[in-house]
Structure 1
Amino acid sequence: MDPVAEHQQAESPARTHLSQIPGFTWTPFERDDLPEVADFYATVESFDRNPERTSLADLQDFWDSPRSVPEEDTLVARDQSGRVVATAWSGCNRSVTDVREVFLGGAVHPGLRGRGIGRLVLEWELAHGRAWHQTSRQEGFGPLRMRLLAPVDQDDIRDLATRAGLAVARYYFEMERPLTDIPNRDRPEGILITPWDPDLADEAREVRNQAFRDHWGHTDASPQMWADRLAATAFRPEWSLLARDADTLAVVGVAMNCAYEQDWSDDHRQGYTDELGVLRDYRGRGVARALLVESMHLFTSAGMDAAALGVDTENPSGALGLYEGLGYRRRASTCIHELQECAGASRFTRWCPSPARAAHVPGSPATPAR
């Protein structure tokens, strides 16, 4: 049996269960669907008070990425009037093999919850991820890791995830500080803080990868993943920074700053530090602090009202203390539920404990509630 047919056969029971929901028609995302899908996510995420919102630009970035296969990994449900009422999203990261990641991002309209639809959506997402892993796995490939992100207080999706076998793996704080009383620029000795330079993008990628290898959930960014990150609508190169050794000019730290306009309100706009990394040998010298302070000044010059970022509450580098010392305060909490299959398992009933390393999936939108 060819891999496509084998994949379809493996996930067929779960797909059949979706097709049996009365009044729903399920089809893969088409690019023309994206404006309606974005409006649907806006409704869902507003209802759930999700701190991370999904924009039309996010969806278009996903669709246009060479890494994405929306015709396989996504489904959108419409009711008999043609309205988008649910999505199923099992995003398989095909560009890395040491860990085979799947992002679970489906949602159900708030008015249709409590009917078991979310359970069937998650059933298909898990079946799709497993089938992809089973049919495309090769010798030397790592374990399958499926993750779902949710606000901490969103009991419905978290209960659904737990019952499906996705245990809580990590908690995150979304933090913010007003752009008032910004600290003065204080350059660490022997370090230059310079604007983002596209000619150094690959060196910055390697620094980012090295800096995060001792962090939970980390996956090295492949060249294609990095290209997607730099091409993302939200990325702001004019706000982003490099830290460089003053003697060698080697890149030793990076601050990737973004504008998630879907999270803004009319009177509150944020500059968001999406990734902040410093090589281990340069930690403890104030490099991360200098990158953040310079970012605040750039945000202020751009007319932003606040600086924001997210942090793993168990970050091993002491990042939470650094951020609190600079005036950042928690405004929301999220958590990751995770299910991981051991590499080489012949069936999907053997599961590994969550590894005590690695982080989020770059470029993935937050998982809305079902």
Structure 2
Amino acid sequence: MDADFTPLTAADTPAWAALTTVLAQVDGTEEFYSAEDLAEELAEDGVDPARDTWACWEKDGTGERIVAAGQVRVRTDLLDGRAVALLGGGVHPDRRGRGIGRALMDRMERRARELAAERHPGAPVTLRNPGGLPADPVRPLLLHRGYRLSRYFAQMQRALPDVGEGEGATVPSAASRVAPPGIVPSGVTPAGIVPFRAELSAGTLRARNAAFADHWGSTTVADAEWAALIEARSFVPDCSFLAVDEAGDVLSFCLAQDWQDGPLYLALIGTTPAARGLGLARACIGASLDAAAREQGADGRPRFSGATLHVDADSPTGATRLYEAAGFAVAKTFATFTREVPALGS
């Protein structure tokens, strides 16, 4: 079929959400988004929906539906002298093999290079695209277009602790478990594990940028991008915890999100380099799990079915071992594909 694309708009988000639900179920990504979540994405700082997003529509027996969608973002900072473009999207399973994915990739790659040239003139570009699970049909397309498998990421999950038992990291006794027995990290007081609050946001951003400076593919998160994260409807501050020192500086963090009905998603976990090895991240994770176990929905039933996170399988910090020690187990392994292209016009 001939693919006819139009930009995504706020009015399209219900149909877009319906597509993402099908992709999450069929491709096994479990990445579910509501229409409200997607509307927030379109409104984020630096996103121009008219130029950075695409939807392919077709009529079916009940009206029109989106059978493919995509979007492009370019990070604000360079990574090793290269602009980093993030491409994402998908094609409805019953419309694959008809050239729609190829047409969508043509548009996304072209726009990625244009946007990179606008933000980082003269810089070469790394195109980054999620490759899903091993059987994901996008992988042959990516390889055909010159992408290579660059990194594996593990999805890990666990059950929540029983209410009353907990993980031993509730706020009043946090310092007693943030280090091996008899060792309390210097500067961390018994109230050192605290819930996220607005006045600690800037300090948490500084800690995030310091913690991820040595992570693969990571760049500095700018203020506007950070604001979008902590102001999003998916952010759960009551289940997000920080380790702070006596001066109020953030040393470690575990920030949580709620995507549709299901598990609590631990979206960002990290520790500043100087504070690693003290058990702070595990204490923050434990506090988040304890808080999530106590959360109830409007019907009085548990709000979350468990907890999940993603981790770089080759993280230099040994994060996978940390999460295994916190009770998480690998459920799936995803891949990221990249392609290096020159600056537009070079």
8 Å contact 2:84–2:127 — kept in the other structure?
A: yes
Consecutive unaligned residues in structure 2, runs of 5 or more? 179-183, 296-301
CA distance in 2, matches of 1:45, 1:307: 17
Alignment of 1:254-333 (within 5 A): 254-261=253-260, 264=261, 269-302=262-295, 303=302, 304-333=304-333
Is residue 7–residue 51 contact of structure 2 (8 Å, CA) maintained in 1?
A: yes
Shift of 1:183: 3.0
Give the CA deviation at 1:315.
Answer: 0.7
Q: Distance in 1 between the 2:100 and 2:28 partners?
A: 21
> Is the CA contact (8 Å cut-off) linking 1:270 and 1:305 kept in structure 2?
yes
Could you tell me which residue of structure 2 aligns to residue 118 of structure 1?
Answer: 101
Instruction: String of CA shifts for 1:128-186, please: whole Å, max 9, x gaps.
Output: 212333455436xx542221113222331111111111111111111111123643235
2:157 alignment counterpart? 176
Retained in 1: the 8 A contact 2:21–2:31? no
1:71 corresponds in structure 2 to 50
Q: What is the CA–CA distance in structure 2 between the aligned matches of 1:305 and 1:124, rounded to whole Å?
A: 38
Q: Name the aligned partner's letter for residue 105 of structure 1.
A: G
Paired residue type of 1:66: D
Q: Aligned with 1:51: secondary structure?
A: coil
Cα deviations across residues 91-142 of structure 1 (Å, max 9, x unaligned)?
1236445553322222222111112221222122112212333455436xx5
My pick for the range that moved more, 213-222 or 177-186, is 177-186
Residues 215-254 of structure 1 aligned to structure 2 (within 5 Å): 215-246=215-246, 248-254=247-253
Unaligned 5+ residue runs, structure 1? 1-20, 348-370
Going from structure 1 to structure 2, the CA distance change for 1:310 and 1:94 (only over 3 Å counts) comes to closer
Structure 1-normalised TM-score?
0.79
Q: Corresponding residue for 1:34?
A: 13
Q: Distance in 2 between matches of 1:49 and 1:152?
A: 8
2-side partners of 1:133 and 1:274: how far apart? 26
Q: Which amino acid aligns with 1:254?
A: F
TM-superposed CA distance for 1:346, in Å, is 5.1
Q: How does 1:2-81 map to 2 (within 5 A)?
A: 21-22=1-2, 24-80=3-59
- Cα distance change of structure 1 residues 80 and 307 upon mapping to structure 2, 3 Å threshold: closer
1:49-105 per-position Cα deviation (integer Å, ceiling 9, x unaligned):
223233323211111212211100112111255523433424123644555332222
CA contact (8 A) 1:95 1:224 kept: no
Q: 2 CA distance for matches of 1:308 and 1:75?
A: 30
CA RMSD in angstroms, aligned pairs only? 2.1
Matches within 5 A, 1:41-190: 41-80=20-59, 83-93=64-74, 95-97=76-78, 99-134=82-117, 137-138=120-121, 142-180=123-161, 182-185=166-169, 186-187=174-175, 188=178, 189=184, 190=187
Counterpart secondary structure, 2:335: strand
**Consecutive aligned runs of 4 or more in structure 1 exceeding 6 Å deviation:** none
Count of aligned pairs between the two proteins: 316
User: What is the CA distance between 1:26 and its match in structure 2?
Assistant: 2.0
Counterpart-to-counterpart distance in 2, 1:205 and 1:95: 15
**Equivalent position amino acid for 1:101 in 2:** V
TM score, norm. by length of structure 2: 0.85
| 8 Å CA contact retained: 1:74, 1:87 | no
